[in-house]
Amino acid sequence: MADRFTMQDPRHQFPAPPFPQQPQSPPGLVSEMRPAPDHGEKSYAGFGRLLGRKALITGGDSGIGRAAAIAYAREGADVAINYLPSEQSDAEEVLGYIEKAGTKGVALPGDVSDEKICQALIEDAVKQLSGLDILVINAARQQARKSVAEVSSEDFDRTLKTNLYALHWLAQAAVPHLPPGASIITTASIQAYEPSAHLLDYATTKAGIVAYTKALSTQLIEKGIRVNAVAPGPFWTVLQPSGGQFPEKVETFGQDSAFGRPGQPVELAPVYVLLASQEGSYITGEVFGVTGGKGIA
């Protein structure tokens, strides 16, 4: 495969379905995915855009968070990653990539659906990184259910706490530590605009993330802090085979995009870098759609 800077047809740049069914128990492991996702392990090259910055990324062991962590480190940032304890093996791989980039990597396991853990994550990140400039709120829960009758109160509660409550708890704890020029980046989804019938609770949280991000950006620009969201479309992450899609849907995942394939996490990394860097100095309150041609409205 050509490197990412060589001009090529984007429709054929990465794997396209059909993919094998590969069900995993949530939250799943990257190491068990086929084909393996590209998080930039070999393909992302940095240019020093984040030299000296200090970042915390939730869900940094896999998927979008993993791609952002690798990119941030190669752009010169020290990076703390949060993940669930069961994802330790994936997290260790990411920490290895951070250290190979020559920056500091910090492991912060913990379940963000717990308010006290969110507060501790911020305090630990600030302490171990000697400050905090970038907060990427990315960890998410997505479990497909066939009907509203199957979305239990426990489902709804866990999804909202992981995806939406954690956003509030983390932002609330982080703001007192963020200097002017800092950046908060949230992960929304095309589901906020085109919700799928089988993702009732997930889509609800993603719409909430868009609204919260826009409101928070208005508050924090008075402190010189920018707040933006990224809204991905279909991306090949471990979220999908670990219950985020029905097994038969994994086989054709991303097929209905304009590219005929899902996006790879590395294709989102430059957007997260832009929003974190000084190159994005006039961007706040925005939602960046990266949807494979589907757009956001």
What is the mean predicted confidence (pLDDT) over 236-243? 95
Model confidence at 266: pLDDT above 50? yes
**pLDDT tens track for 174-210:** 999 999 999 999 999 999 999 999 999 999 999 999 9
Residue 144 belongs to a domain with what CATH number? 3.40.50.720
What's the pTM value of the predicted model, to 2 decimals? 0.96
**pLDDT tens track for 216-231:** 999 999 999 999 999 9
Give the domain range for residue 94: 50-290
How far apart, in whole angstroms, are the C-alpha atoms of residue 24 and residue 18? 18
Give the total number of structural domains in the chain.
1
Q: Is residue 20, in this structure, part of any structural domain at all?
A: no
Q: Is residue 222, in this structure, part of any structural domain at all?
A: yes
Q: Is residue 277, in this structure, part of any structural domain at all?
A: yes
Model confidence at 1: pLDDT above 50? no
Model confidence at 296: pLDDT above 60? yes
**pLDDT tens track for 129-155:** 999 999 999 999 999 999 999 999 999
- The residues pairing with 78 across neighbouring beta strands, listed in sequence order, are 54
Q: Is residue 204, in this structure, part of any structural domain at all?
A: yes
Model confidence at 267: pLDDT above 50? yes
How far apart, in whole angstroms, are the C-alpha atoms of residue 280 and residue 290? 17
Lateral strand order in the sheet of 183-187:
105-109, 78-83, 54-58, 134-137, 183-187, 226-232, 287-290
Nearest to 162 by CA among 135, 179, 143: 143
Q: Is residue 212, in this structure, part of any structural domain at all?
A: yes
Q: Which of 83, 97, 202, 272 is catalytic?
A: 202
Name the band, by pLDDT with cuts 50, 70 and 90, for residue 76. very high
**pLDDT tens track for 17-75:** 999 999 999 999 999 999 999 999 999 999 999 999 999 999 999 999 999 999 999 99
Q: Is residue 217, in this structure, part of any structural domain at all?
A: yes
99 Cβ contact partners less than 8 Å away, ≥ 6 residues apart: 105
Model confidence at 2: pLDDT above 70? no
Q: Is residue 9, in this structure, part of any structural domain at all?
A: no
**pLDDT tens track for 165-176:** 999 999 999 999
Residue whose pair of structure tokens reads 């911020």 in the numeric block: 122
Q: Is residue 247, in this structure, part of any structural domain at all?
A: yes
Q: Is 202 a catalytic residue?
A: yes
